Structures are given as structure tokens and as C-alpha cells.
Structure 1
């Protein structure tokens, strides 16, 4: 029974390279198993210097081997790759990238990489000098030319006191991208190379007094997924983020943190000056308090309740459409509910016409939908009149569907 259940779950091979970031593979492993995946860990011998086999075995429920001379009757060095639905290498060291690029097979992991016919994704981690070395860049380009996913690493603290490009992507991001690749093996193709993208995310906060603010329920997860997928498809991404401190910065993206609608407006317009695509996924407050109290507003017995006067915030999306340059694409987001004047799509069509953007992603919002959840669904409306539903899936899947449409529009211009 256990074996049958295991076969019904997506089968993921988690290769672990011999770098200090190997300990983060444990978080990836737990994230995948907890989301219903059957994960087998295949480390290199060097990786076991950082994390012991017992740890991987306990978290995965599978034995861990590194060589080709174990389970010989089962022809394990071939079978592991043949039976996988997805192979991830976390972390992918410069040595592993070189071996994979040139077809070397001196252990179980490199044999698995040669026999796998499923999607294969490398998540690099190494010092900046190693990532930028011409040999590594050539190996990455060769692997990508074969349809293998080699993601962009993060920037930040490396081993010791060093900082720079080459840090392993956050484990939550890796799990998210793994789910995306299982749903769509071509989702991370490099079709946005050289495209400059601006994405806004999160919810703005408009101060009422030193303690309180007007805000909304946006977590920023959808905007971050948009930035993450765009960066891994080759785009140069600037992410303008409002109150998303709990989310890991997307690897390969530049993050600009803002708070209020006015701050977001300034940052987005500045970044849009040199952008090919601007995506307004942030939930920007429509109104702000007309004045901010210098001190906390008190409730006092015997006194009337305070009256809060609101002022309208600028319409950033409409401004972007009005000021766009050349063939720049502008994408809007609409969080809608139906009412006595129409359903979600009625309101969305009217908004698309009113705003004048090229694409509008529409989410039906409500309890347990769109805001503060992991998955999303909606519709993609085009200024040409085309409409298509986006089925329920991870927010990365919705992001991928949107970037598919953007890539088609860019190719036609």
C-alpha cells in the first residue's frame, strides 16, 4: 500500500552538491514532502561532509546512496533518473555544472542526470568569482541550450565575510519553482532575455497617526511570483515592494521597498523610464487620510468620535498608460467582486477599457480567494478583446501564464 501511494505522488530526485548551502537542501526536502511529493535524495560524497545521510533519510523516508555499486540488481544508476518526474540539484556547485555540461558520470547523481528524461533544474550556489568565471558561464549557456533549467542565483551573504552574486535561492522559492516545473516543464524557458521589467507588489499603507494606517489584505505573494518567474526567464527585473517583509526576495531581482501609495508611485515611475514591461500587481490604496495626526488618536468618554476625511490617491496604472514610451507594455491587475451592477468580468472589462492597459489580470476576491493564500485563479483580458481563464494553481503558475502572453505580445512588436 505504501509503495502504491508513493507511485501516485510526483517523484522528485533532489540532488545535493558539495557546498556549504547543502544544509538548505533539508528545507527544500521538507517543503516538497509536506506538499505531497515523493522525494529521493541523491547527494555527492562531498555533500555528506555538510549534511549526513541519516538526516536526508529521516526527512525523505528513502535510503541515501552516492555510488553506482549499491542496489546493483535494480540497476539503480539508471533507474533513479528514469523514474523521476523532476530532478533538482540544490545546491548546484561549479563542479556539478561542469560535469553535467560535459556528460561526466562518476557517481550516482551524475549518472542520474544523464538518464533523466524529465525536467532538470539546477539551483547554483558558489562564490561570485566562480559564478562569473567564463568557464562557468559557458557551462551554464551549454546546459540552457539543451533545455535544462539553470536558475539565477541570489545576491547576499556568502561563506565567511564575502557577499555578492552566487547565494542559493531561498528554499521557499525553490519549492515554488519545483511545483511550477511539475505543472509546466517549459515554464522557465529563457524567452525574456534582455527584457527590462518592473513589477509592483504588496499593499500600500496610508498613515492615520503614528500607530494606525489604512491598508489592505495584499500579501505581495502574487507580485513576488511574477518577479521570480520573470527573472528566471531571463528578464532584468525591478520589484517595487510595499510591506512584504515576510517574503524572500526573488533571486535575480532588484528590490525597492516602499510604504505609501505616493512612494510606490515615485519608485514605479522612476523604474518605468527604462522598462519594456510594467506590471502593476500591487494593491495601491485608492484613498489616504487627508491629514495625519501628530499623536495617537485617543478615544475619550464624553467626546464625539473622530471624523476621518479621505483624499483620493493618484491612479498609478492610468498614469503609466498615459506616460508610456514607445512600445512599452503595461499590465494591470484587478481584484474584483460582483455586485448589483455586474459580475467580476463585467467590472474587469470596464476597468480594462477605462485604464487603457495592454493586459489585465483579473482575480475574484473574497474569503479564502486571491489575498493571503498560496494559490490563485482568474482571467487574462487583452486590449484586443481576447479573454482566457487561468485555472486554479500556484501563484507561480498564474505568473507563468501572464508572462506567456507578454512574451507573445513582445514578439509581435
Structure 2
């Protein structure tokens, strides 16, 4: 970033190439369930044994045949754990089993088509977990697709709810790491963590914004402030870390107070999202809201006016919108297959356009883009916006 001599901002999300992400994930939504008293067998065709400890996630096999899969998860660690099967993008949750206490075994049973996946254990139910690649090979037998539209919708909502919970847990862990560095005066470390940590917030922004008292505490920009309103949250720290000319930096005590408040408000957000109940229309409308966020703030450069890390936010909003769509996609394919195909293409096109500005594990700074490049991104956003606006009605009505 010109003039600030900043380190490369790193991403703490799964290390997946943007070129791969440009191809929209089109796996059918898996129907998942969990049961207690998991078997420890890992014979071919039988349950795949998973052993979770405080520091390891041992999966007995790295591949399986498509169709019905069972993961037998044993917690040999000291803390409650969770186990996830994620789509290859590392974001969309195909199936999960949670609240596995020490010494307890539970099964995750699901239907998975051929493709690349990621397994993850979460000791202590925090952070992004201990991850490993997992391949499902084509068995030659087509997986049964549930014809019950309501069941497809309910499964999509359940999986998106799990996604919100997962992203919130990663936000909590990342915020604490950021806050520790910021409060300690380690500006280089805090700047390096800023954009990547905020991505977890941006992916679930419609849900986070639904808590009207927390949203301004965590995400208010200086331009949003009402007269007399105390300014806290990410953008207050942003201005202090990426200061404009003539800015008077916060004192060590002020930084510590701001960091403490950021952690406390994020913990409160996590507590509230644990009991959030979502509906199919909220998924569809939320996907459109996330794209609107891109159009209003990210593609205009107004969101991150000091750090210029708008493209990190852009990617995160796009991630969240795509996950909501993909969770509803099996139901949409029954109701309007043409719209599902159109959305697949528009999401892929926008992702491909954004991938042009990838740099290492991050992106170009927004102020490095030319007006023509911004216009191209904006055109792709507009092209996706119209069909995405039809998603909710197509699934719900």
C-alpha cells in the first residue's frame, strides 16, 4: 500500500487458490444426520473412523466411494469437539456433528456425490479446526435425491445455520488474536490480521446486522456515526492502524480499551448466533443483501477507506452469498432449474473477475485498481444481482 510500507496482509481462511474458487461449487446438498455410539470400524464400505484429540484429527481414510457415508467420530481429547465435512472450498458445510464430549463417540451419516471435500475436527469448538483433504470417488451409482421439497429446504437452512455458527467461531478466535496484537502495540501484526479476520464477519453480515445494537458497535464507519455516538469496533481500529495524514494516534490505554470492547462485543455476537433460527427466505434475501453490500460499499471503496482492503470484504460477501445460494440450490433445481443454472454461471463469472486481482493469499489494494477495472467488477455484480433477486421467490413461493 503506497506510503505505509505495510506487510502483506495474510488470509487465515483455508489455503485454496482463487482460480479453483472461480469455478462455482455445484455439489448437490447432502442430507446429513448424526447418531450416538459410533462404531470404530473403518473397513471398506463401513464407517470411517475419526479420532479427535486436543491437537490431532485422525481420519482413517482419505477417500471413499460416493453415496452414503458414515464417519464414526471418537473424542479422545480433553475438550468438547465437533467434526465437519466441508465442500472443497472449505466454507460450505456438507455435514456436521457437534457437542462430542470427552470419551464420547458419535456418527455423522450423510450422502455425498463424487468430488473434493475437507474434513475438520474442532477441539474446544473454536477456530477453523484441524483440516485435511478428503476425496469422494464416483461409485458408479447415482445418489438418491430426496424429492420432498420441504426436506431439501429444511436441510439447506440447517446447513447454512451451521455455516453461520462456524464463521462466528472463527471470527471470535481471529478477533482475539487481532486484539492481543493491537493492544500490545504490535501494529504490523494487527495490520496483517485485519482484513483476513474481518472476512468472517463479512461472510455472515446479514445475520450479524440483525442484532441492531451490536452492528454499530462492531462495524460502524466514521461516516455512519450519529452526533455524540461513541465510536468502537473494527473501523475505529482501522483508522488507527492505517492513519491518514495529520491523524493523532490512540494512546496505549485507548488501544487496550478498544481491543477489549471489540472482543467483548464479538463474544456477545457469538452467544446470540448460537440460538439464531433462520428461514429459507432469510437465506435468499441474505444472499441478495450481501451482493448489495458489495455494490454499495466494496466496489466503491467506501468500506475500508484507510486500509483499502475492500477486495477482501468483496470476496467474503461473495462467499456468503454463494453459500446461501448453494444451500438452497437443490430445492431451486426442483422449482426453477434454469435459474439455478443461470446463478451458477453468474457466480462463477464474478468470482473469475475478482480473481484477477488476487495477490498471494490476499488481493490488490482497492486504490491500486483503475476506473476501468472497477467498472468491470461492478458490471459483474450487476449481472449477478438481477437473477439473485429472484432466488427467494423461486424457492419459497
Normalised to the residue count of structure 2, the TM-score between the two structures is 0.28
Greater relative contact order, per chain length (Cα 8 Å cut-off, separation 6+): 2
Normalised to the residue count of structure 1, the TM-score between the two structures is 0.27
Point out the structure with the larger strand share: 1
Structure of larger gyration radius? 1
Point out the structure with the larger helix share: 2
